Amino acid sequence: MPILDEIKKFDINKCLRENFHLNKNPFTPKELFSDGLTADEVKTHDRVFQGRKEIVESIITGIRAGDSYKSVLYGSKGVGKSSILNLCLYALSNDYITIKIRILKEDVNEKVFQKKILRAVATALTSRILKTDGLNLESIRKKIQQFFKPGAVKELDATAALAFLFSSDQVTYEESTQDKEAINLHLGPVPIGFTMKSEYVNAAKTMTSYAHIPETDLMRILKSAHKLTWEFGFKGIVLGIDDGDKLNDAELERMLLNLLKGMFYADAKYHLMVVCARDVIELDVKDLFSDNFISPLSKDDVLRALNEMYKSESVGEKEIYDFFDKEVLAELYEESNGLMRDAVILCGECIKKACSEKKERIDKDVFNSVRVREEAAAAVKLMTMNHISTEYKVVTYLMENKEGYSSDENFQKSVGVIQSRLTQILRELENKGVLKSRKEKRRRVYFLKGGIEEVLKY
């Protein structure tokens, strides 16, 4: 059949519905508890989210019990760090101002960083005030007036609070038509009709106009932000900084933690959660941050999570076990090393593969053709046609001995090459998806990737 007709005929949704009782493919990786979910989505995420009880509890308790709990989260790519961060922020969002920031390379710079954080905190607070008090502008106005009442607050603090409000995307002002010495503050789209003395305003503008806000001013601004937060009935401010580990540069990561340390040192009443890579924590910020290693999930947790994902899109009472062979799920867990992202992607690929082959079950055949990349399968097939090739010898050695490393003389002898060449071949075979490896002390140990043996046998 011509390709265009073939494509037209192949309807993945029809297959998902008829063969797998699914509305759509539920196995797409996405962070759990991300911002802006509907109530129903939160319920689904809550069912999918497994394990992590201890770590989540210790973070939440740390925050609720003190006034400046700071922690770093680290762990493998795709293990579930962001989801934990999101969950903690979500769980605290009722009575705390919670903010999530994804950090980028260009943010790790003293000038950009301060302003980015200030702006995020100020925007979060003002948006939240507007949302909570609805359009009850009168009450907002009263609270702000109360806050700035002469005598209740020192002039410098009032200036700092105003500087903080100006950092927000939600706050604007215009000069008053009646009083030359005053301006009208707007919060959100509607003016709150609050009048400020222009000398305060000018001082606040100066405070934020520097490329780099002087430390004493910055401290004052952060403090007044915290006071404003209380004024509006929130218990505190929680900042979640994600993707510190995506900077891929230890120097930048260290700088990020030091910038945070400088900004939120000891008595600053802010709570921090920072995702970063491990080697950085061991150095100079241990005194301030408690560290949390995020381990891969257990097999039971991964399978439960996958089943809940399946159920979230299923029509009827079916479960994942009705379509996936038990052994496949066990191997799929091994293959993913407990990293949920990898497990989810593999499940999704299996379903797509089964649909393209018009199958109604995910058995070992489907799973193997998914996990062994085409490039790897082709490389292995080629080897089996040439038994004197070094690659073939490497692969058969690993089949017999389960694993091997390039400095092993037996391995070198049986392949007939010196160490440097063996290292090279092992690396190439890993890149092609034929081998996998793990680091063991100072050496790298290689073994056959799951499914490769089956390809070798045919």
Ligand X SMILES: Nc1ncnc2c1ncn2[C@@H]1O[C@H](COP(=O)(O)OP(=O)(O)OP(=O)(O)O)[C@@H](O)[C@H]1O
Chain residues in the site for ligand X (CB under 6 A): 29-32, 48-52, 77-83, 305, 340-341, 344
Q: How far is the CB of 359 from ligand X (least distance, A)?
A: 25
Of all residues in this chain, which one has the CB nearest to Mg ion in the complex? Answer: 82
Burial status of residue 237 (CB atoms within 10 A of its CB: 0-12, 13-18, 19 or more): buried
Q: Which stretch binds Mg ion (CB under 5 A): 77-85, 283-291, 337-345, 376-384?
A: 77-85
Q: For residue 435, give both structure tokens.
A: 């081998």
Using CA atoms, how far apart are residues 64 and 68, in angstroms rounded to an integer? Answer: 9
Closest approach of ligand X to the CB of residue 345, in Å: 8
By CB under 5 A, how many residues form the interface with Mg ion? Answer: 1
With CB cut-offs between 5 and 8 Å by kind, which of ligand X, Mg ion, none does residue 244 bind?
none
- Which H, E and C letters describe 278-332, residue by residue? HHHHCCCCCCCCEEEECCCCCHHHHHHHHHHHHHHCECCCCCHHHCECHHHHHHH
Min CB(49)–ligand X separation in Å: 5
Q: Please state the three-class secondary structure of 424-443 as a single string.
A: HHHHHHHHCCCEEEEEECCE
As measured in angstroms, the least distance from the Cβ of 335 to ligand X is 15
Question: What are the tokens at 327?
Answer: 């052994």
CB nearer to Mg ion: pick between 72 and 225: 72
Minimum CB separation of residue 31 from ligand X in Å reads 4
Measured at the CA of 279, the angle between CA 278 and CA 282, to 5 degrees, comes to 95
Q: Minimum Å distance from CB 339 to Mg ion?
A: 12
Cβ neighbours of residue 68 under 8 Å, at least 6 residues apart? Answer: 264, 266, 267, 268, 269, 270, 271
Contact of residue 80 among Mg ion, ligand X, none (CB under 5-8 Å per partner type) = ligand X
User: Interacting stretch for Mg ion, rule CB under 5 A, among 78-86, 321-329, 337-345, 376-384?
Assistant: 78-86
Identity of residue 347: C
The residue of the chain with the least Cβ separation from ligand X equals: 80
- Tell me which of 50, 82, 126, 307 binds Mg ion, using CB under 5 A: 82
Confirm or reject binding of residue 184 to Mg ion (CB under 5 A): no
Q: Which stretch binds Mg ion (CB under 5 A): 1-9, 75-83, 300-308, 410-418?
A: 75-83
Sheet holding 190-197, edge to edge: 171-175, 182-187, 190-197
- Output the six-digit token pair for 318: 């079916």
5/260 Cα distance (integer angstroms): 58
* Amino acid found at 363: D
CB of 387 to ligand X, least distance (A): 41
Instruction: State how far the Cα of 70 lies from the Cα of 266, in Å rounded to an integer.
Output: 10
For ligand X, the closer CB: 81 or 220: 81
Q: In this complex, which beta carbon is closest to ligand X, that of residue 119 or of residue 352?
A: 352
What's the min distance (Å) between Cβ of 168 and ligand X?
A: 28
Beta carbon nearer to ligand X, 32 or 281 = 32
Q: Please, are residues 179 and 193 in contact by the beta-carbon 8 Å criterion?
A: no
DSSP 8-class letter at 174: E
Specify whether the CB–CB gap between 138 and 279 falls below 8 A: no
The whole-angstrom separation of Cα 278 and Cα 291 is 9
Rank residues 81 and 393 by Cβ distance to Mg ion and give the closer one. Answer: 81
* Bridge partners of residue 437, in order along the sequence: 446
Nearer to ligand X (CB atom), residue 52 or residue 359: 52
Nearer to ligand X, 92 or 187 (CB): 92
Nearest distance from residue 253's CB to ligand X, in Å? Answer: 14
Beta bridge partner(s), residue 156: none
Q: From the list Mg ion, ligand X, none, which binds 77 (C-beta under 5 to 8 Å, kind-based)?
A: ligand X
Stretch that binds Mg ion, among 81-89, 117-125, 170-178, 413-421 (CB under 5 A): 81-89
Minimum CB distance to ligand X smaller for 31 or for 110 = 31
Q: For residues 242 and 331, which CB has a smaller minimum distance to Mg ion in the complex? A: 242
Our CA dihedral for 374, 378, 379, 382, rounded to 10 degrees, sits at 170
Task: State which residue, 79 or 125, has the beta carbon closest to ligand X.
Answer: 79
Beta bridge partners of 312: none
Contacts with Mg ion in 210-229 (CB under 5 A)? none
For the bound state, the minimum distance from the C-beta of residue 74 to ligand X, rounded and expressed in Å, comes to: 9
Q: Which residues bind Mg ion (CB under 5 A)?
A: 82
